[in-house]
Amino acid sequence: QAKKDQGNSYHIYTPDLNTKAVKRLDLEHRLRRAIQNEELDVHFQPQVNIHTGDIIGAEALVRWFDPERGAISPGQFIPLAEETGLIADLGSWVIKQACCYTKQFLPHVEGDFKLAINLSAYQFKRPDQLIQELDQALLENALPAQCLELELTESMLMDNVQSTKETLKLLHHNGISLAIDDFGTGYSSLAYLKEFPIDKLKIDRSFIKDINHNKDDAAITSAVIAMAQKLGLSVLAEGVENSSQLQFLLEHNCDSMQGFYFSKALPAEEFIELLTEEQQSPDLLKGLQS
């Protein structure tokens, strides 16, 4: 299609070009540059023991602020990074950053602390590289493997069962914990829970959202908590936003939680401040419960 451009009739304008494909290409270009220039950031969302209120860990969540486009959500750029292979570099970078910051967090925590890292299927298909990157990041920061947790999704586990099992066994044997992210939203087979060395289930926030009003969500959540306990797994509720959700989880004996009610993901400096506050008055959650 040609469009008359105020007299410059030779100027060809193709509206089709200016659509999704171009926007996507532009975003890909920007993301590649942002990764190269280390313009991404990692924020940390605390994970809290429901019964004691202790901060037991944090989830590393990548953040991208593009100078022209502003904040772009991981829900938007992670799938793009996965499709284009950029996730390899992005994932390596997150592992390094997360370990480097964890070293700074540890002096401010008492007891166990685990830093949870989201993995993508792409990283998981290159187990040798993944293991090497994790080992190196731990070594460089003099961290024990026990302070790392990897978040996997159900679909990642179903992809290549035999080699996945080998990889998970190796990671687990080395001391790294394994959590199932968004539990309940993926593949429906539960057989893998006994096949793989899983430590924790993270109940997806879609079940927590209406837990006080929706009988099905309440039933699913309490059943998952009970099942996790019988299997000897730890169980965390994602997306806790208010005190009635917290109350439900307390009553059903869930172990831990993560959500805006306690804190959103914070820049490292603010997360350290939170840890320091907690060291001084270890009743942050009790204040919320009353």
Q: Residue numbers of the site for ligand C2E (CB under 6 A)?
A: 45, 60-62, 73-75, 78, 94, 118-120, 151, 181-182, 205, 239-241, 258-260, 265
Helix axes 74-84, 87-105, angle to 10 degrees: 130
- Secondary structure percentages of the chain, helix, strand, coil, to 5: 50, 20, 30
Residue 153 gets which letter from DSSP? -
Neighbouring-strand partners of residue 183: 203
Q: Return the SS3 of 138.
A: helix
Residue 118 in contact with Mg ion, rule: CB under 5 A? yes
How far apart (Å, rounded) are the C-alpha atoms in residues 284 and 194? 36
Figure out which of the listed residues 133, 149, 181, 255 binds Mg ion, where binding follows CB under 5 A: 181
DSSP for 85-121 reads STHHHHHHHHHHHHHHHHHHHGGG--S--EEEEE--H
The CB-of-155 to ligand C2E minimum distance in angstroms stands at 12
Neighbouring-strand partners of residue 41: 63
The CB-of-174 to ligand C2E minimum distance in angstroms stands at 20
Which of ligand C2E, Mg ion, none binds 45 (CB below 5-8 Å, type-dependent)?
A: ligand C2E
> x/- contact string, 182-201, with Mg ion (CB under 5 A)?
x-------------------
The CB-of-261 to ligand C2E minimum distance in angstroms stands at 6
Specify the pairing of strand 200-203 against strand 148-152.
Answer: unpaired
The CB-of-263 to Mg ion minimum distance in angstroms stands at 15
Which of Mg ion, ligand C2E, none binds 94 (CB below 5-8 Å, type-dependent)?
A: ligand C2E
- Closer of 194 and 198 to ligand C2E (Cβ): 198
Are 150 and 116 a contacting pair, CB within 8 Å? yes
* Lookup result for tokens 């959700």: 245
| CA distances in angstroms from 188 to 33, 178, 184, 231, listed in the order given | 38, 19, 7, 17
Near Mg ion in 40-79, by CB under 5 A: none
Taking residue 250's Cβ as centre, other Cβ atoms within 10 Å add up to: 14
Residue 151 in contact with Mg ion, rule: CB under 5 A? yes
Near Mg ion in 230-249, by CB under 5 A: 238
The CB-of-276 to ligand C2E minimum distance in angstroms stands at 22
- Closer of 239 and 278 to ligand C2E (Cβ): 239
- Closer of 54 and 182 to ligand C2E (Cβ): 182
The CB-of-81 to ligand C2E minimum distance in angstroms stands at 8
The CB-of-97 to ligand C2E minimum distance in angstroms stands at 9
Residues that bind Mg ion (CB under 5 A): 118, 151, 181-182, 238
